Amino acid sequence: MNDLKVISRDLSEKGSVVMMGFPGSGLVGSIALQYMVDQLEFNHIGNITSRFFPPMSMMAKGVINAAVRIYEKDKFTAVVADIPIHPSICYEVANGILDWLDDFDVKEIVTIAGIITNESEKRVFGVASDEEAVHKIRDHTIILPMGSISGIASSLLTECKLRRIPCIGLLGETVNNPDPRAAVSTIEVLNQLYSLNLDIEPLNEQAEEIEATMQRLAEEVQSSEVPQQKKENLPMYW
């Protein structure tokens, strides 16, 4: 905790469901949880900082936001990050957050991330820290039968298992670009699991705008490329 500072008021209720989203493939976790806290009007109760975090801050309307923020509403807590967590500090960050949560007897933790596949169906894959948690998400996700995950989501799942805290991992099928549609898919699972009644249509509209913008950028890049001169076919020598 000397390297990770949690500057926050205490959670209002014990037994909270804590959701965490850090930037990764498709920015799925960050997009999904920031959308949730905005739409459901969560209260901003604190921030997390560390000397290991990159020196970067996001701003909105000229006001600086902490790179990792804590929100709360009723029995739900959300940890939302704008910065990726370097693999070398995932252990410290996961343990620092769990140490802080230790006083509040959390019910379970949900970590949301992206997973890159060769498909574009926007499915949601599920992993969990124990059999009971797997059973809870079995009807709402595709359970990964075998494989490995990495990054902060992996550290959180592993540390929760060691501490015997139920933890669920929701992995939205995505690509490397910002992917609101993958975030929509994970929100639909959250709606089913926790009856959030979160309207996803505004995020779907944002997805269409982002896709249109990316398409225009791709076309502009393609049209601005200078055609390469055709190379002369030369014989090969062995």
Would you give the DSSP letter of residue 141? S
Q: Where are the alpha helices (DSSP H) in 90-150?
A: 90-101, 131-137
Residue 161: per-residue pLDDT: 95
**pLDDT tens profile 67-96:** 999 999 999 999 999 888 989 899 999 999
Strand (E) or helix (H) holding 115:
strand 108-116
Query: In this structure, what are the phi and psi dihedrals at residue 198, rounded to the nearest 5 degrees?
Result: -85, 120
Task: Locate 114 and state its tokens.
Answer: 């992206």
**pLDDT tens profile 31-51:** 999 999 999 999 999 999 988
Task: Locate 200 and state its tokens.
Answer: 């996803």
Q: Are 8 and 70 in contact (CB under 8 A)?
A: yes
In this predicted structure, the answer to whether residue 238 has a pLDDT above a threshold of 70 is no
Average of pLDDT values for 222-237? 49
Half-sphere exposure of 113 (CA within 13 A, CB side): 21
Q: Are 18 and 109 in contact (CB under 8 A)?
A: yes
Residue 3: per-residue pLDDT: 79
Q: Kindly report the pTM of this predicted structure.
A: 0.85
Helices 180-194 and 28-39: crossing angle in degrees, nearest 10, is: 60
In this predicted structure, the answer to whether residue 105 has a pLDDT above a threshold of 90 is yes
Q: Are 83 and 54 in contact (CB under 8 A)?
A: yes
Q: Bridge partners of 82?
A: none
Of 27-31, 51-55, 228-232, the least confident: 228-232
Average of pLDDT values for 16-43? 93
Residue 231: per-residue pLDDT: 46
Question: Following DSSP, what letter does each residue of 207-222 receive, concatenated?
Answer: HHHHHHHHHHHHHHHH
Residues contacting 162, CB < 8 A, separation 6+: none
Dihedral angle over CA of 142, 80, 117, 126, nearest 10? -10
